[in-house]
């Protein structure tokens, strides 16, 4: 946070100078960056500069449909198969449980 070098805001509550959108992917990238910055500060090193992140979005429509966008190749559009396979089954709940090592 500007003026508070040891206070971090991530996700929807954050207004980044890079204009990140209020979405899940930027929130996860900001969280990873904040963790690196906190570790650097704890080692007495300067916090790395946040350079922003691209957008990535997956919007399932029912269990077998959806539309999505990935940041590569200038914005790659995804359709029913890719989005339903990646997110439609559990809306990333399984992925987040793994990241959090939840049983
Ligand atoms: C309908 C909808 C669809 C969306 N679809 C997509 C999508 O397809 N792709 C995408 O990338 N993003 C999507 N988003 C945006 C995405 O959900 C958010 O950007 C993301 O969840 C932000 O994460 P966050 O951790 O910052 O906030 P949140 O996920 O909102 O988490 C904040 C947490 O803080 C808790 N909380 C609030 N106040 C307090 C308090 N006083 N004490 C303790 N806890 C508190 C809340 O209960 C909540 O659990 C969608 C959002 C909505 C509403």
Residue 3 is predicted with a pLDDT of 85
Using the 3D structure, point to which of 11, 30, 53 is the last residue of a domain.
Answer: 53
Q: What is the number of the ligand 1 atom nearest to the C-alpha of 11?
A: 26
Residues 49 and 97 in one domain: no
Q: Supply the range of the domain harboring residue 70.
A: 56-103
Residues 48 and 89 in one domain: no
CA–centroid distance, residue 52 to ligand 1 (Å)? 19
Residues 21 and 49 in one domain: yes
Residues 49 and 69 in one domain: no
Residue 6 is predicted with a pLDDT of 86
Using the 3D structure, point to which of 11, 29, 53 is the last residue of a domain.
Answer: 53
pLDDT tens, the chain, 103 aa long: 878 888 999 999 999 888 999 988 899 999 999 999 999 999 999 999 999 988 888 999 998 999 999 888 888 999 999 999 999 989 989 988 998 999 8
Pairing of strands 76-78, 57-61: unpaired
> Tokens 């070098």 identify what position?
5
Residues 38 and 65 in one domain: no
Three-state SS at 94: helix
CA distance 82 to 80: 6
For a substitution probing ligand 1, which of 27, 32, 58, 93 has the most ligand atoms within 8 Å of its CB? 27
CA distance 33 to 96: 17
């Amino acid at each position: 946070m500007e003026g508070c070098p040891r206070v971090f805001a991530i996700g929807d509550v954050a207004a980044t100078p890079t204009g990140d959108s209020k979405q899940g992917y930027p929130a996860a990238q900001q969280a990873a960056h904040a963790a690196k910055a906190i570790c650097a500060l704890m080692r007495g090193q300067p916090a790395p500069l946040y350079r922003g992140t691209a957008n990535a979005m997956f919007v399932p429509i029912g269990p077998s449909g959806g539309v999505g966008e990935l940041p590569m190749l200038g914005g790659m559009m995804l359709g029913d198969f890719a989005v339903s396979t990646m997110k439609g089954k559990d809306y990333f709940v399984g992925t987040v449980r793994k990241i959090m090592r939840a049983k």
